[in-house]
Amino acid sequence: MDIFALLGVPVTYTPVAGTPVPIQALIAGSLQLQPSGFSSETWAQQYTAEFMLSELPAGSPAPGDTVTYGATVYTLVAPMENNGMLVKWVVA
């Protein structure tokens, strides 16, 4: 997809069990206030990684899979969105 070519970065996607594959990903960081429901909230940086499902290895994405961008390794924590073509996960 064009947006991945334009804004994506080349990463190595490594399933928990499987062969690493080079793909494009959208990695974004945002400031989150947490947890909600309190008068005081803590701010912390939260990162997400978005992929094209067609580029991922079979069985992925799954918790514990990793995404390596440069020297940084992100671990998939939990899914946020999945519309059948694109999938976005919270990474840490």
Interface with other proteins (CB under 8 A): 32-44, 46-47, 77-78, 80, 90-92
- Quick one: tokens of 71? 């020297």
Beta-carbon neighbour count of residue 49 at 10 Å? 26
Burial class (CB in 10 A: 0-12, 13-18, 19+), 35: exposed
Nearer to other proteins, 39 or 54 (CB): 39
Q: How far is the CB of 32 from other proteins (least distance, A)?
A: 6
Q: How far is the CB of 33 from other proteins (least distance, A)?
A: 7
Q: How far is the CB of 23 from other proteins (least distance, A)?
A: 21
Nearer to other proteins, 30 or 83 (CB): 30
- Quick one: tokens of 44? 């912390």
Nearer to other proteins, 40 or 83 (CB): 40
Please answer whether residues 67 and 13 qualify as being in contact, where contact means their C-beta atoms are separated by less than 8 angstroms: yes
